[in-house]
């Protein structure tokens, strides 16, 4: 069942022709992630959709203002301003605007080889809390650029450009903190993980313990380790060693330092251990890396 009022004041929508969607599906670049439908509904009074027969597209909805709801897998979720969700392909669902305070939404139907990856963990509402480094207006501009590009026709250049922007658009949501960090221009933010990494880089020539790093941040070693692993995917000391090897590569690339001098510069006293660690991280010995110096 599909219901909705016949149009919303100021609404815009584009549905790509089936032949164009087939072209995108077959294109080596576009097939990674591509749009099939796109639209904007302001103050969408009586907006309601129910699909008992699943569709093969993912449905992205970004609520800018107002409220709404959606139902998926026998669970109903409420949506408020500055939240988004992605409905998975192949599953029945329903959604609609709040009857008293209807939502204003940007919506996109999409497919592609990476579609499931971007949709992962987004079936529940995800909040985008406005803050000092929010870039909501920039994100709206990205949406408008996608829409305008597709509105100008379906040349291959237009389609690939729209796909590229959409990839970035979803990335600004999936990796929200990194997106905001770019705007802040402050590499020494108070975020504890960023602060910890900065502390590591400032002490790259030392042999820091987990306790010393955690103490600098003001957390217990165990709690800090869990938080760090969740954010970066690595234990703190493993990450610290990666930073040391990154610094070693820079010294190999841009100086004539000997191995034992580089060891001293990155706080590793044993050159044999350094060589083993370097090989583990870079997949080759320091000397081989030196010979492969990039131009």
Burial-class residue 214 by CB neighbours within 10 Å (0-12, 13-18, 19+).
Answer: buried
Farthest-apart Cα atoms in the chain, separation: 75
Task: Mark whether 130 and 204 lie in a shared domain.
Answer: no
Judged by phi (left if over 0) then psi (alpha if -120 to 50, else beta), residue 51 lies in beta
Which of 128, 151, 183 is the C-terminal boundary of a domain?
Answer: 183
Q: How much is the average pLDDT of 164-180?
A: 78
Q: What is d(CA 242, CA 83) in angstroms, rounded to the nearest whole number? A: 36
Q: What is the pLDDT of residue 134?
A: 45
Task: Mark whether 173 and 284 lie in a shared domain.
Answer: no
Q: Round the average pLDDT of the chain to a whole number and report it.
A: 87
Q: How much is the average pLDDT of 155-164?
A: 94
Give per-residue pLDDT as tens, 4-23.
444 556 788 999 999 999 99
How far are the Cα atoms of 42, 95, 106, 159 from residue 10, in angstroms, in the given order? 6, 20, 12, 25
Task: Mark whether 167 and 209 lie in a shared domain.
Answer: no
Q: How much is the average pLDDT of 162-183?
A: 76
Q: What is the pLDDT of residue 173?
A: 86
Q: What is d(CA 59, CA 91) in angstroms, rounded to the nearest whole number? A: 11
| Mutual angle of helices 210-217 and 236-254, in 10-degree steps | 100
Q: What is the pLDDT of residue 178?
A: 55
Task: Mark whether 35 and 157 lie in a shared domain.
Answer: yes
Q: How much is the average pLDDT of 152-163?
A: 93
Q: What is d(CA 167, CA 112) in angstroms, rounded to the nearest whole number? A: 11
Give per-residue pLDDT as tens, 70-91.
999 999 999 999 899 999 999 9
Task: Mark whether 120 and 208 lie in a shared domain.
Answer: no
Task: Mark whether 90 and 40 lie in a shared domain.
Answer: yes
Give per-residue pLDDT as tens, 223-232.
999 999 888 8
Task: Mark whether 37 and 139 lie in a shared domain.
Answer: yes
Give per-residue pLDDT as tens, 232-283.
889 999 999 999 999 999 888 878 888 989 998 899 989 999 999 999 999 9
Task: Inform me whether the pLDDT recorded for 140 exceeds 50.
Answer: yes
Written as six digits, the tokens of 160 are 């690939």
Task: Mark whether 167 and 278 lie in a shared domain.
Answer: no
Torsion on CA atoms 251, 253, 259, 262, rounded to nearest 10:
10
Written as six digits, the tokens of 135 are 């870039």
Cross-strand bridge partners of residue 37: 15, 109
Range of the domain at 101: 2-183
Q: What is the pLDDT of residue 133?
A: 45
Residue 225's contacts (CB-CB under 8 Å, 6 or more residues apart) are: 210, 214, 235, 236
Task: Mark whether 105 and 16 lie in a shared domain.
Answer: yes
Task: Mark whether 80 and 124 lie in a shared domain.
Answer: yes
Task: Inform me whether the pLDDT recorded for 189 exceeds 90.
Answer: no
Q: How much is the average pLDDT of 82-105?
A: 96
Q: How much is the average pLDDT of 35-54?
A: 94
Task: Inform me whether the pLDDT recorded for 137 exceeds 90.
Answer: no
Task: Mark whether 159 and 121 lie in a shared domain.
Answer: yes
- Residue 226, CB-side half-sphere exposure with 13 Å CA sphere: 4
Give the domain CATH number at 146: 2.60.120.280
Q: How much is the average pLDDT of 92-115?
A: 96
Cross-strand bridge partners of residue 85: 61
Task: Inform me whether the pLDDT recorded for 294 exceeds 70.
Answer: no
């Amino acid at each position: 069942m599909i219901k909705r009022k016949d149009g919303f004041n100021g609404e815009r929508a584009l549905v790509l022709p089936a032949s164009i969607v087939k072209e995108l599906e077959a294109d080596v670049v576009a097939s990674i992630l591509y749009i099939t439908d796109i639209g904007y509904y302001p103050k969408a009074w009586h907006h309601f959709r129910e699909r008992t027969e699943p569709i093969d597209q993912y449905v992205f909805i970004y609520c800018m203002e107002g409220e709404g709801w959606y139902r998926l897998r026998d669970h109903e979720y409420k949506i408020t301003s500055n939240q988004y969700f992605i409905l998975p392909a192949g599953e029945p669902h329903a959604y609609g605007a709040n009857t008293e305070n209807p939502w204003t939404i940007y919506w996109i139907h999409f497919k592609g080889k990476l579609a499931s990856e971007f949709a992962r963990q987004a079936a529940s509402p995800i909040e985008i809390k406005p803050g000092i480094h929010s870039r909501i207006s920039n994100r709206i501009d990205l949406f408008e650029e996608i829409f305008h590009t597709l509105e100008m026709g379906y040349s291959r250049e237009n389609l690939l450009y729209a796909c590229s922007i959409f990839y970035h658009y979803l990335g600004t949501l999936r990796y929200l903190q990194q997106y905001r960090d770019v705007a802040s221009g402050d590499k020494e933010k108070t975020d504890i993980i960023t602060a910890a990494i900065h502390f590591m880089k400032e002490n790259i020539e030392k042999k820091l313990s987990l306790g010393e790093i955690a103490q600098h941040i003001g957390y217990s070693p165990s709690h800090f380790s869990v938080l760090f692993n969740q954010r970066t995917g690595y234990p703190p000391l493993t990450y610290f060693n990666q930073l040391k090897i990154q610094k070693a590569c820079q010294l190999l690339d841009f100086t004539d330092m000997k191995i034992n001098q580089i060891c001293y510069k990155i706080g590793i006293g044993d050159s044999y251990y350094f060589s083993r660690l370097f090989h583990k991280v870079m997949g080759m010995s320091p000397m081989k890396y030196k010979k492969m110096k990039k131009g």
